[in-house]
Amino acid sequence: MSLRERLAGLTAVFRQSGPLEPGRGRATGIVAFSLGILAVLAVLAFHFPQYLTTPELRRQYDPAILREVLLFGMVVAGGLAIANLVRGRNRRLNGMALGLIALAAAMGGHRVPVGDFPDNTPYLGLDWFILDLLGSSLVFIAIEKLIPLRRDQPVFRPGWQTDFTHFIVNHLLVGLALLVVNFAIHRLLGWAVWEPLRAAVGGLPFVPQLLLLLLVADLVQYWTHRAYHEVPFLWRFHAVHHSAQHMDWMVGSRLHLFELVTTRVAILGVLHVLGFAKEAMDAYIVIVGFHAVFNHANVRLPEFFNRAPLKYLLVTPDFHHWHHSSEREAIDRNYAAHFAFLDHLFGTAVKSDRRFPGTYGVLGDYMPEGFVRQQLFPFTWKG
Ligand SMILES: [Zn+2]
Ligand SMILES: [Zn+2]
């Protein structure tokens, strides 16, 4: 087999989409292969933490636990790959998975020592990518399999590669995004800070403070989001997010980088000026991280969520799926990310007797597939 054929075989798995047939070792092979890649990347992050881990994150977690997670992942991946190989299933994929695990082990595995290292080097958020991919795929794929909206929609549905590339880049560039956001907030918004107000807001008890924070964040999100729809120049960027034709958790990652940064600057800037306490901010980051992804998921919540008062209170996948619909009654509707009542208040809520829309995407379907083409789209579109 030539090198070219080998490479084609190696990447073939990423060019496919569609359901996985059970009993052929594909699903477990893909899990083993993905864990194998993540294990190699994780070992690299242990070798070069100053360049491959996120300072804000590594202050939070305990490396000893991550070593255990790495070892566990390697054992699971190795076990799956060996079991499939023994039964003669999908030899190439499982062979590659085993090769990756062997490589991770040869590079030191979970035992790579970590010494002192400087804290202010430029870095890629590889740790954030690995941990969020592991956590999110476990949680969201489980929810999507438990309470699916479209039962026949596979995990590897058409276009998944584009969303996954958005996911990878958004996570690796977390450092750059944080840098831009922090710079913008502290340099540009200093004039707006009024200490007595900050002290009052930051001094509120945790629960009311968090509710107020969510409300403020969603108000800012509502109006920036609405501007992204109603200002033609901004729509060029936001159309990327709306180009998804199949909805699942990964669509949450499909965002133009310009939009990602500007929306964060707007929301975090206002929260900073108002002086919310660190505990409330940390809780918000976790909530928005879950909620914004969950709203896109291929799930059908129990009927209970589709009735008053919850229907008018919270944004659910029902509500946000309509936002992504290409049907006439849904265009420029349902902007909120947390509180559905904002759209009812401002007159932009979808009023349909159907629970979910039938079609998704942008009218005219003009967005190209692929991460790079989508990043270039706003500058090249002649629409
Ligand atoms: Zn939108
Ligand atoms: Zn969305």
Q: Spell out the per-residue pLDDT of the chain, length 383, in tens.
A: 566 665 565 556 566 677 666 667 778 899 999 999 999 999 999 999 999 998 888 888 888 999 999 999 999 999 999 999 999 888 899 999 999 999 999 999 999 988 888 877 888 999 999 999 999 999 999 999 999 999 999 989 999 999 999 999 999 998 788 888 888 888 888 888 899 999 999 999 999 999 999 999 999 999 999 999 999 999 999 999 999 999 999 999 999 999 999 999 999 999 999 999 999 999 999 999 999 999 999 999 999 998 889 999 999 999 999 999 999 999 999 999 999 999 999 999 999 989 999 999 999 989 999 999 999 999 998 87
Q: How far is the CA of 309 from the centre of ligand 1 (A)?
A: 24
Residue 336's domain comprises: 174-380
Note whether residue 269 is domain-resident. Answer: yes
Residues 344, 223 share a domain: yes
Q: How far apart are CA 254 and CA 307, in angstroms?
A: 30
Residues 224, 345 share a domain: yes
Note whether residue 10 is domain-resident. Answer: yes
Q: How far is the CA of 190 from the centre of ligand 1 (A)?
A: 30
Residues 243, 353 share a domain: yes
Q: How far apart are CA 249 and CA 137, in angstroms?
A: 9
Q: How far apart are CA 251 and CA 192, in angstroms?
A: 35
Residues 180, 109 share a domain: no
Residues 225, 99 share a domain: no
Q: How far is the CA of 238 from the centre of ligand 2 (A)?
A: 10
Rounded alpha-carbon distances, angstroms, from residue 221 to 73, 253, 319, 323: 37, 16, 16, 14
pTM for this model (two decimals): 0.89
Note whether residue 363 is domain-resident. Answer: yes
Q: How far is the CA of 335 from the centre of ligand 1 (A)?
A: 6
Q: How far is the CA of 357 from the centre of ligand 1 (A)?
A: 15
Q: How far is the CA of 264 from the centre of ligand 2 (A)?
A: 15
Helix (H, G, I), strand (E, B) or coil at 333: coil
Note whether residue 135 is domain-resident. Answer: no
Note whether residue 130 is domain-resident. Answer: no
Q: How far is the CA of 323 from the centre of ligand 2 (A)?
A: 7
Residues 211, 344 share a domain: yes
Note whether residue 128 is domain-resident. Answer: no
Q: How far is the CA of 144 from the centre of ligand 2 (A)?
A: 17
Note whether residue 116 is domain-resident. Answer: yes
Among 55, 88, 123, where does a domain finish? 123
| 330, 356 contact by CB (below 8 A) | no
Residues 296, 179 share a domain: yes
Residues 228, 119 share a domain: no
Q: Whose structure tokens read 């918004």?
A: 189
Among 101, 123, 145, where does a domain finish? 123
Note whether residue 64 is domain-resident. Answer: yes
Q: How far apart are CA 269 and CA 277, in angstroms?
A: 14
Q: How far apart are CA 150 and CA 22, in angstroms?
A: 19
Q: How far is the CA of 161 from the centre of ligand 1 (A)?
A: 21
Residues 329, 207 share a domain: yes
Q: How far is the CA of 97 from the centre of ligand 2 (A)?
A: 34
Among 80, 105, 123, where does a domain finish? 123
Residues 226, 107 share a domain: no
Work out how many domains the chain is built from and give that number: 2
Cα dihedral sign, 49-53-59-65: negative
Residues 262, 113 share a domain: no
